[in-house]
Structure 1
Amino acid sequence: MNLLHLSDLHFGKPYLPQVGSALLAQAAALKPDTIVISGDLTQRAKASEYAAARAFLDQLPAVPRVVVPGNHDVPLYRFWERLLRPHALYRRYIAPELNVVHRTTEAVIVGLDSTAPYRAIKNGRLKRQQLEFCEQAFAQTTPDTLRIIAMHHHLIPAPTFARTRPMPDAKRTLETLTRLRVDLVLAGHLHRAYVGNSLDVYTGQQRDHGIIVVQCGTSTSRRGRGLEREKNSFNQIELTATQIRVVHYHYHDSRGEFSPVSCHTFARPGQITVAACGYPHD
């Protein structure tokens, strides 16, 4: 399975058209089976921004997509709209459902809306009902089916980046996802990509099962942060019977294109060895 992970497009003033065009070209070349977009499609949740985001989505490869909203996808300054209809434009232009399930022969991907328009501006939360939604989605999966969560807000802090306060109740959420034997969490929000493991931060009691956490930077905006300041990135995730391989791409302004800069390979549960990656760091 070949999965493309994009995030934080930020259609509006921060959006970079030349980067967006390069991303569309690279997405077509990679021929993904599924595309995941982990939130913040817009900058200020305006109808014009949503229309532009919709046009961009329509130019991506015509494959199944799992898209979830981010905190920028609900109105910030339009108080009554935020209070009464926070996701109205998202539902109109992007998708009618905020929590979704996509099933393939290799994986089950659960997309969760982590926005909290009534409780937070930047940060997010997952409700108990959403974790129950995950449990129901995974209830009928076989042991060899990969279990993937897609959400906007991050559950573990990024190394070497001070602005990394995770989502409230992140540890409790990870404990639940560990109990559900989730293999992979895809997220965004920080505008700084990294790949890690839940056991690196929250050891807990279930040492036999760590969750691979894959953060995506901002794919098409000028708002990169930390080690990805002034950079744009996305992830390609290759799933095989024995391993999970995450290839990280950066946009290179001098060439006007994305190219791979690093690779992270993990053994699937029950596997011991993995093949090495050959991509250099930029």
Structure 2
Amino acid sequence: MVTILHASDVHFGPPYNEVAGEAFQAVARTVAPDLIVVSGDFTQRAKVGEFEAARAWLDRLPRAPLVVTPGNHDVPLYRVWERLFDPYRNYRTWISPELDSVTRIPGLVVVALNSTAPLRAIVQGRIDPAQVAFAARVFQDAAPADARIVVAHHHFAPAPDYEGDKAMPGAREVLDALSTAGVELILGGHLHRAYIGNSLDVHPGTDREHGIVIVQSGTTSSRRGRARERAKNSFNVIRLAEDHVEITHFMYFSDVGGFAPFSTHAFPRRKYGYFPRDPFQHPLLLWRRDEPAPQGARRGAHA
């Protein structure tokens, strides 16, 4: 069994909740994860001091492979010239030099895709076909039994409430292509409340499509939880067994002075021996079959 610790939207800066941030550190040590994922928004305004604090916080987490991806708050909003000409400077300096990355550990392959779009869709985000093609090539090289996981900050499906949050532009087409490539899980954040479900809940497919399990984390350590997680903090623990995946949603409770399990969700895994269809037959990727991988796209690969 592989254990993944999934946090998001820590927001160092004025919204940061130190009590929740320290409580998460305590739980992280007891979980002893095989992999840690933090799916973006390390800062509030992409300032150097905020990134320094985020880096120090990351360095205190248990020793395990770490998957990170930038969020829209990790890109300058009001420093327009920086957003135009060097939007990831502070992120690359303090969090990771890589934007799209590959992480491999026994039993799974994780592709992190940068969904921030500083010049086009800074809030809603975007993943372009070149990034999907990069992920598809990585997953084609994975062993049939490996779990294929994507991490991105922005959401592919709206939370099941009435807040009106729209998914990323083109989310359905990207989901279809990733499903064709055999992706089992997508981990993300951005919504500041958790959502755990299947892509088929919002984008119906054919009778041969399994869908993708979508795991959104709430804000792990800011004071800006939204909707049903207003003023709350949360994260997820994901356990991958041979035949199923179990996701436990943790929330912070003041009466217990820390995080505690709130709900548990279980989904069957795609069977061993399942071979994904050729993703480059998907209309989104058909003309990209013979393209080289995007420049620098294999940055951050871990053997």
TM above 0.5, yes or no, is: yes
In structure 2, runs of 5+ residues without a counterpart are 273-303
After the TM superposition, which residues 209-248 of structure 1 pair with which residues of structure 2 at under 5 Å, given as runs? 209-248=210-249
State percent identity of aligned pairs.
51
Q: Which runs of 4+ in 1 moved over 2 A?
A: 204-208
Match of 1:27 in 2: 28
After the TM superposition, which residues 41-190 of structure 1 pair with which residues of structure 2 at under 5 Å, given as runs? 41-190=42-191
Answer yes or no: is 1:199 the counterpart of 2:208: no
8 Å CA contact 2:205, 2:211 repeated in 1: no
Match of 2:5 in 1: 4
Instruction: Tell me how far 1:239 sits from its aligned partner.
Output: 0.6
Match of 1:277 in 2: none
Q: d(CA) in 1 for partners of 2:62 and 2:46?
A: 24
Match of 1:265 in 2: 266
TM-score (norm 1): 0.94
Match of 1:13 in 2: 14
SS of match in other structure, 2:90: helix
The structure-2 alpha-carbon separation of the partners of 1:207 and 1:156, relative to structure 1 and needing over 3 Å to count, comes to farther
Instruction: Tell me how far 1:206 sits from its aligned partner.
Output: 6.0
CA deviation digits over 1:92-123, x for unaligned, max 9? 00000001100111100110100000002311
Q: d(CA) in 1 for partners of 2:197 and 2:226?
A: 18
Instruction: Tell me how far 1:84 sits from its aligned partner.
Output: 0.4
Q: d(CA) in 1 for partners of 2:28 and 2:81?
A: 38
8 Å CA contact 1:197, 1:210 repeated in 2: yes
- Output the amino acid matched with 1:223: R
Instruction: Tell me how far 1:44 sits from its aligned partner.
Output: 0.2
Q: d(CA) in 1 for partners of 2:25 and 2:271?
A: 36
Instruction: Tell me how far 1:254 sits from its aligned partner.
Output: 2.5
- Output the amino acid matched with 2:40: G
Match of 1:274 in 2: none
Larger deviation, residues 124-133 vs 69-78: 124-133
Larger deviation, residues 236-245 vs 119-128: 119-128
SS of match in other structure, 1:91: helix
Q: d(CA) in 2 for partners of 1:99 and 1:50?
A: 19
Instruction: Tell me how far 1:173 sits from its aligned partner.
Output: 0.7
CA deviation digits over 1:27-60, x for unaligned, max 9? 0111001000110000000000000000000000
TM-score (norm 2): 0.88
Q: d(CA) in 2 for partners of 1:132 and 1:26?
A: 36
Instruction: Tell me how far 1:21 sits from its aligned partner.
Output: 0.7
Instruction: Tell me how far 1:198 sits from its aligned partner.
Output: 0.8
8 Å CA contact 2:149, 2:185 repeated in 1: yes
- Output the amino acid matched with 2:214: V
Q: d(CA) in 1 for partners of 2:57 and 2:75?
A: 19
Q: d(CA) in 2 for partners of 1:140 and 1:121?
A: 32
- Output the amino acid matched with 1:12: G
8 Å CA contact 1:232, 1:251 repeated in 2: yes
Q: d(CA) in 1 for partners of 2:125 and 2:64?
A: 28
Instruction: Tell me how far 1:247 sits from its aligned partner.
Output: 0.4
Q: d(CA) in 2 for partners of 1:28 and 1:187?
A: 22
Match of 2:39 in 1: 38
Q: d(CA) in 1 for partners of 2:108 and 2:94?
A: 27
8 Å CA contact 1:19, 1:256 repeated in 2: no
